Amino acid sequence: MKNSLLSLALVSLSAFSVNAVAACYDYNYVQIQLQGEVVLKAPTELPKEGVTHRNPQEKHTFLKLDQPICMAAGKNSYESAVENQAEITLYTLKGAGLGQYAGKRVTVKGVLMHSFVSDAHTPLQLSVKDIDEITK
């Protein structure tokens, strides 16, 4: 009885720790789905890293993730491993205004990649293909 209680406790603890671990992705450039809250920030509100911004008042769009994610290192030299990423830069090639979702919880579908442009402000960015507001 004592051993079965101990086993049950260990199994429960293992299941909890698996759920607490961030989802980890590979740099395979396939579409994924993430959830979180859309946040707008100007470069003046972001951590400074000696970067001069071309438009310091321009708002950039971020997704504050419900659960942090990670990326395994890729085969290209710029595809660094990233752990516990709680916020990612959102962008779209269509020029669609992601700002309309500011402060809202959303489900975003897109391609996750390493940020290699100065406007990203986070190690990871998501090329948005579709975005839907989560309604309660």
Comparing 69 with 11, which gets the higher pLDDT? 69
Q: Where are the domains of the chain?
A: 23-133
Query: How would residue 54 be classed by pLDDT, with cut points 50, 70 and 90?
Result: low
Please say if the pLDDT value at position 83 is more than 70. yes
In sequence order, the 6+-apart residues with CB closer than 8 A to the CB of 82 are: 70, 71, 114, 123, 124
**What is the per-residue pLDDT across 32-53, written as a single tens digit (0 to 9) for each?**
999 999 999 876 666 555 556 6
Q: What share of the chain is helix, strand, coil (3-state, %, to 5)?
A: 20, 40, 40
Nearest to 63 by CA among 97, 11, 98: 98
Give CA–CA dist 13/90, Å, rounded. Answer: 35
Supply the mean pLDDT for the chain: 79
**What is the per-residue pLDDT across 91-110, written as a single tens digit (0 to 9) for each?**
887 766 888 999 999 999 99
Report which residue type is found at 63: L
pTM of the full structure: 0.75
Strand partners, 71: 25, 82
Burial (0-12, 13-18, 19+ Cβ within 10 Å), 25 = middle
Please tell us whether the domain made up of 23-133 is placed in CATH 2.20.70: no
